[in-house]
Amino acid sequence: MIDKSTIDRVMETAQSQITDVISEFISLKKRGINYIGHCPFHNEKTPSFIVSPHKGIFKCFGCGKGGNAVNFLMEHEQISFVDAIKTLGRKFHIPIEEKESTPEEMVKQNERESMMVVTNFAARWFTKNMFETDEGQSVGLGYFKQRGFDPEIIKKFQLGYSPDNKDAFTRQATIEGYKLNFLEKTGLTVVREDYKADRFRGRVIFPIHSLSGKVIAFGGRILKSDAKAAKYLNSPESEIYHKSKILYGIYFARQEMTRQDRTYLVEGYTDVLSFHQAGITNVVASSGTALTPDQIRLIARFTPNVTIIYDGDPAGIKASLRGIDLILEEGMNVKVLLLPEGEDPDSFAKKMPGDELRKYISENETDFIKFKTSILLEDSKNDPIKRAQLIQDIVKSISVIPDQIIRSVYVKECSTLLQVEESVLYSEIGKIKKKQREKESGRIAYRENMQEAVPQNQPPVITPSAKNPLDAEEKEIMRFLLKYGHLDLGEVDMGDKKTAMKVGEYIVNELRQDELKSENPVYNLILEEYEEQMKLPGFIANKYFISHSNPDISHLATDLIAREYPLSKIHKKHGAIKSDTDLLSILVPKVVLELKWKLVKLKLEQTRMKLQQSEKQGNMEEVMELIKEMSLLQNVFKLISLQQGERTII
């Protein structure tokens, strides 16, 4: 665990030297007080990537990415926050001071590190064995050459060979000092009573890399005919390898996935290798296992767009359709490509150059509705029962799409393809949604009854909220809070006296006295931290939040501070104005009142709807209560409306 003071020192240094950090990865040219270059996160012809040394931030006005130096390193190199801090510490010669871990943490950390050392040794040994032994060259290297793979691809993916010997690897590993305990835990050695054997003996080896490029597991393909042995064999689950959370090739694909804003999803190791050999590197494989939500979220970190490439095996395709629903459920855009009969991604990629292959995919991929319908219609044909089941299956897929607009587009398309009224489809979606809500409410009730304990010292989990009707007003308040919070606002009328306040103090006071909370958890976290930090001397919000260790907070802070806002009608009323700072005494109360006005307006609409329902149901007691509530809200609404035209700070 890195000490907080060390993190703060690294963050502060990196922020002040952000141009130096980013210029190691892209070419920057000075333009005024800022620097400009081509964004490394998406393809662009005209540079829109800005680095501001004065503010210590970067911002791309093309794709929207932004943040501090640590955010850039995490995004560009796809490494963790801790690894980014360590990298920058080395760059700026800052000793990384770490807190002393508990005995349990030490044991776990040492075990993981030992397992990583073992898998790294194994990868080198398998490669060396393939290139430097007669058996390795004739059997292992011969297989890869026979499959048409170039030496560059073989070396890039660290492919290797494990000799057809009971324990050749295990013996060599123990001779070199690696403990049997860790050979067993990584799955490299199978240990029984009086028995030790290499798991991957007689197989060509495909190392599986983590997101940061470390070898965490292996896949092995047997080369001899053996009816009792599996064709492909993977490392078992371990402390460092969870097959449901990793994708083969993700380390080599991650940057291109972002640049191309698309991921090609295939099934096997050799599919990935052949695509790379054709020059297409934004490709990953599920390694023959069913796609999982964790794997889909891993893809979503780089792009929301996925093209699944299937070979011509109908049985295999039907078994994989569940994966499409999982991708849709995560709010991603999925397309499907069915290759010609007898082809798979490996063989097909070897038949044409990368540009032609990419063009073929683009011209032949289709959306999931057309694909799923064409596949399932083969079974239903003229059977009305099977046709009804097909419609239910398609509707179930549409129902998991979180975005209502996208869902409605697919309903329209499905209605046309299957010749079913849209109202019928919406009715079915409503039934599915209702069942899901009932199921979820049952889970929530169960969790509440069980009174699950919340682990201590856990960082806050930020989950996206539904559409926030007050987001525009709240974001504007956050902008003033972060950008101008440390500036003087003037004297504020507190009823019995006038008090000098800063912008941040005024905003926090106004929101807290009315107990206002946002549906956006990031806004709430910022407000809570601001309230704590503003009491400390020398606190400046923009510097503090841009350098925040929580990427959600630092990204939002960067976006609000970097974005240029056009002068509004309020500015123009008051003559020639240079910036917001000239009108803080007018603008700050105005944006706070606009939020309150909008909130009361929403509550009025909600209360009015409740009142209409209660009148229909004849619930007169509730009607009277709601009328009182309406009257109170209307008075508040009128009061705020009057204040909107009057209130300024003296």
264 found inside a domain: no
Residues 35-50: what's their mean pLDDT? 86
Most confident of 291-295, 533-537, 611-615, 622-626: 291-295
The Cα 4–Cα 10 span in angstroms is 10
**Predicted confidence band of residue 462 (pLDDT cuts 50, 70, 90):** very low
Most confident of 354-368, 465-479, 559-573: 354-368
Question: For residue 456, what pLDDT is reported?
Answer: 36
pLDDT over 90 percentage in the chain: 26
Question: For residue 137, what pLDDT is reported?
Answer: 95
* Owning domain of residue 391: 369-434
Q: Are residues 428 and 387 in the same domain?
A: yes
Which of 63, 92, 121 is at the close of a domain? Answer: 92
Q: Are residues 117 and 234 in the same domain?
A: yes
Give all strands (DSSP E) within 318-438, no chain letters.
333-338, 366-367
Residues 116-120: what's their mean pLDDT? 93
Q: Are residues 72 and 137 in the same domain?
A: no
Q: Are residues 126 and 230 in the same domain?
A: yes
Question: For residue 198, what pLDDT is reported?
Answer: 94
Query: Would you mind telling me the total number of residues written for the chain in this entry?
Result: 650
Q: Are residues 23 and 142 in the same domain?
A: no
For residue 373, pLDDT over 70 is answered with yes
For residue 36, pLDDT over 80 is answered with yes
228 found inside a domain: yes
Pull the structure tokens for residue 135: 């058996």
101 found inside a domain: no
413 found inside a domain: yes
Q: Angle 9-13-17 (CA atoms, 0-180°, nearest 5)? A: 170
Which of 241, 257, 285 is at the close of a domain? Answer: 241
Residue 205 has phi, psi (to 5 degrees) of -115, 135
**Predicted confidence band of residue 452 (pLDDT cuts 50, 70, 90):** very low
Q: Are residues 126 and 229 in the same domain?
A: yes
**Predicted confidence band of residue 441 (pLDDT cuts 50, 70, 90):** low
Q: Is-contact 462 525, C-beta < 8 A?
A: yes
Sign of CA dihedral 360, 366, 370, 371: positive
CATH of the domain at 48: 3.90.580.10
Structure-token match 């299937």, residue found: 310
Q: Are residues 549 and 527 in the same domain?
A: yes
Q: Are residues 586 and 490 in the same domain?
A: yes
Residue 39 has phi, psi (to 5 degrees) of -65, 130
Question: For residue 566, what pLDDT is reported?
Answer: 47
Question: For residue 245, what pLDDT is reported?
Answer: 87
Write the CB contacts of 149 (distance below 8 Å, at least 6 apart in sequence). Answer: 159, 273, 274, 277
Q: Are residues 230 and 184 in the same domain?
A: yes
pLDDT digits (tens, 9 = 90+) for 235-268: 999 988 989 889 999 989 987 887 888 999 998 9
pLDDT over 70 percentage in the chain: 85
Question: For residue 163, what pLDDT is reported?
Answer: 95
504-511's contacts with Cβ under 8 Å and 24+ in sequence apart are: 504/530, 504/534, 504/541, 505/534, 506/588, 506/589, 506/592, 506/649, 507/477, 507/480, 507/481, 507/588, 507/592, 508/481, 508/534, 510/592, 511/477, 511/592
What total of structural domains would you count in the chain? 4
Mean pLDDT of the chain: 81
Question: For residue 182, what pLDDT is reported?
Answer: 93
The Cα 242–Cα 129 span in angstroms is 27
Q: Are residues 115 and 197 in the same domain?
A: yes
Q: Nearest-CA neighbor of 429 among 400, 403, 405, 402? A: 400
603 found inside a domain: yes
598 found inside a domain: yes
CATH of the domain at 153: 3.90.980.10
Structure-token match 């975005």, residue found: 403
Tell which wins on pLDDT, 443 or 57.
57
For residue 106, pLDDT over 70 is answered with no
**Predicted confidence band of residue 463 (pLDDT cuts 50, 70, 90):** very low
Which of 241, 266, 287 is at the close of a domain? Answer: 241
Residues 623-636: what's their mean pLDDT? 75
19 found inside a domain: yes
Give buried/exposed letters for 262-274 (b at 16+ CB in 10 A, else e): bbbbbbbbbbbbb
**Predicted confidence band of residue 101 (pLDDT cuts 50, 70, 90):** low
323 found inside a domain: no
Residue 28 has phi, psi (to 5 degrees) of -115, 140
- Amino acid (1-letter code) at residue 202: G
| Beta bridge pairs of residue 220 | 205, 233
Residues 585-601: what's their mean pLDDT? 82
Q: Are residues 489 and 620 in the same domain?
A: yes
Q: Are residues 49 and 198 in the same domain?
A: no
